[in-house]
Structure 1
């Protein structure tokens, strides 16, 4: 089993009585995390329940708690002793939240839960399990995790962390980083041995997301309409979201597009990056930029430029490091990203000394003291004051 960075935090929470909830996109490895946690329980009074199996959905749909209790006892559980129940795909039985609440309150059962969407879990759990749970969000693999899955030594991976361009490291890890950019970070995709299998897995992820998660967790019935909007968004990745223009092109009502965007973001499929400003009113009214949760998925959905894909992967890498915004004047001058309100970041496929000078000037105007030029390809010059994208781990 390949261990994710989040496993350490999950293991620490295993010792606490609170319900452990793991949520995120389908196929990011939530079930694997659940089984890892269950393997760390040092007694046998535990069980794994997959709600994708109909017999388990029937059990959790019983109207009588006594009937559910009998079913749990038939699985070998002694509810009067320390007990751990792992439930996979909790969103498949809407009434399961009340079941979890009952056995948590009545017997002090330690529950480990997974669900494919925060859209359902965050809202419903906040009301029903207030004070009883902690939600952990899982995402596709970071580049650091990608390297671990590829069998790279941990000590070498640590050497990558946010250093200026190093020719040796660049040459050693460049092919792996390009694979990561092309196919993204879904574990099954990373471990697939052929490009054909990787593409097939990515298509399956998209299909399962729309046909299972979206139809299950929302009132939207027109999956074809939503899919067309997703493709339209993919072709505009890295651009500011102009809802009026999207509505005009797609023929979808503005209000419905906003509802779709909210759904796509709450279910982890897209991320929106707000404009940087110290005036909150302007931030609220400004147009956000859009990025997809995985660059492999992005490139299945639309033919996008190499620059767009690279900007998307950097947006994801930066998101793991803190709050990300972008800056753009009405004149068009911009800074691609501002990290934690203190680092100005410009993203280029191939960097130049002039790019860094322009970035420093724009950062100075905003009183941002740390400019950071991030690039994908080494220039054919001696210029080395830049960060290779693979070093942002």
Structure 2
């Protein structure tokens, strides 16, 4: 099997030979099984999937006999099919000190299957998401990866206080790749496929499978039409504040049901909620969260819109969603908004530094951004935009203007 590298493998490396159970979580079709098979071959281990009913019965009814069939390194996939997976894994961990277990499950795993309470001190958790932009480039344009990493290093050198002089090359290639990534997302099977019609079909099938398996079968959500309506509404709301009362009214959905459905979407890695940044409890929003999608390709599949980025009316929303997904790897991300509706897209806490981040297609920075700079006087700020580059001094703040793909 041809293997395409994932960055998470480097993070997992130091845990491969330790005793702790490795639990790999993440959305459906993010590449968990592929990664497990790769690690199995690397470690000369054994692989089983609990989607196989015979394996599931053996695992549940006689776990001691189950592990005797295999060697000392065992990869257990699709663990969400076993309701008492946590209890069985704890038993195996305690009984067999020489057994190294790797366990994975789809997004519904954590909700339906109690694992954490059984494996306290016995497991280390990893999350595998769809490809980020760096991984996308590794798979699609390896010759540009080194240049991309230099751009990104320059961005974070600037945030750390160093002087930088941004100069870009290969703008059209990076722009084209970013356009494909933002429209079709980072699910591995979709990224590998070159035919745009097949990409669309794969994403639509992923959306359908998510609803039928995770939502309906595992999580027992019986009102799929209402769940679909919510997903569509949230897709239109990308980057907006999530106001439960108005959304509940618009969808004619019970408030508690709405809260439950939102929780499912968060825990199955479909959406993420960004909380507000606030220091002034009187004038700044402190409760409402903004909604974004873990993968923009899935978001576009929900809407049935795969138009090229340059032609889209929601281009700004997609670019904003792209940036938040990338910068969340580097620190806590929040957004800023006052009761007077002044707003900054994101506030990144990077190594203890508060860095306001604005995401724009074209045009000048908003007065709201200047208001944040005036109020909080950060040393550095970043604006991702298409029509400007360089460093400008705004009051007491150095502001870096760079293309969106610098992140």
TM-score by length of 1: 0.88
- Tell whether the 8 Å contact from 2:283 to 2:340 is kept in structure 1 after alignment: no
Could you tell me which residue of structure 2 aligns to residue 313 of structure 1?
A: 322
Alpha-carbon offset, residue 299 of structure 1: 1.3
Write the distance in 2 (CA, Å) between the matches of 1:88 and 1:284.
42
- Tell whether the 8 Å contact from 1:165 to 1:387 is kept in structure 2 after alignment: yes
Query: Measured at CA, do residues 369 and 33 of structure 1 come closer, stay the same or move farther in structure 2, by a change above 3 Å?
Result: same
Question: 375, 387, 390: which is aligned to 2:402?
Answer: 387
- Tell whether the 8 Å contact from 2:77 to 2:105 is kept in structure 1 after alignment: yes
Could you tell me which residue of structure 2 aligns to residue 359 of structure 1?
A: 369
Question: 138, 144, 148: which is aligned to 1:157?
Answer: 148
Could you tell me which residue of structure 2 aligns to residue 147 of structure 1?
A: 137
Number of residue pairs matched?
A: 376
Write the distance in 2 (CA, Å) between the matches of 1:157 and 1:349.
20
- Tell whether the 8 Å contact from 1:351 to 1:374 is kept in structure 2 after alignment: no
Instruction: Give unpaired runs (5+ residues) of structure 2.
Output: 156-164, 306-312, 393-398
Q: Using the TM superposition, name which of 212-221 and 248-257 deviates more.
A: 212-221
Could you tell me which residue of structure 1 aligns to residue 292 of structure 2?
A: 291
Could you tell me which residue of structure 1 aligns to residue 86 of structure 2?
A: 97
Alpha-carbon offset, residue 248 of structure 1: 1.1
Any residues of structure 2 matched to 1:368-383 within 5 Å, and which?
368-375=378-385, 377-378=386-387
- Tell whether the 8 Å contact from 1:241 to 1:287 is kept in structure 2 after alignment: yes
- Tell whether the 8 Å contact from 1:21 to 1:113 is kept in structure 2 after alignment: yes
Write the distance in 2 (CA, Å) between the matches of 1:106 and 1:176.
50
Question: 8, 11, 16: which is aligned to 1:9?
Answer: 11
Could you tell me which residue of structure 1 aligns to residue 340 of structure 2?
A: 331
Instruction: Give unpaired runs (5+ residues) of structure 1.
Output: none
Query: Measured at CA, do residues 124 and 382 of structure 1 come closer, stay the same or move farther in structure 2, by a change above 3 Å?
Result: closer
Query: Measured at CA, do residues 97 and 300 of structure 1 come closer, stay the same or move farther in structure 2, by a change above 3 Å?
Result: same
Could you tell me which residue of structure 1 aligns to residue 41 of structure 2?
A: 39
Say what the alpha-carbon RMSD is for the aligned residues.
2.7
Alpha-carbon offset, residue 216 of structure 1: 4.1
- Tell whether the 8 Å contact from 2:131 to 2:187 is kept in structure 1 after alignment: yes
Query: CA deviation digits over 1:359-391, x for unaligned, max 9?
Result: 34422312322211112x235999995111111
1:191 aligns to 2:197 (yes or no): no
Q: Using the TM superposition, name which of 223-232 and 22-31 deviates more.
A: 223-232
1:88 aligns to 2:89 (yes or no): no
Write the distance in 2 (CA, Å) between the matches of 1:98 and 1:122.
14
TM-score by length of 2: 0.85
- Tell whether the 8 Å contact from 2:174 to 2:405 is kept in structure 1 after alignment: yes
Write the distance in 2 (CA, Å) between the matches of 1:189 and 1:38.
24
Question: 120, 134, 148: which is aligned to 2:124?
Answer: 134
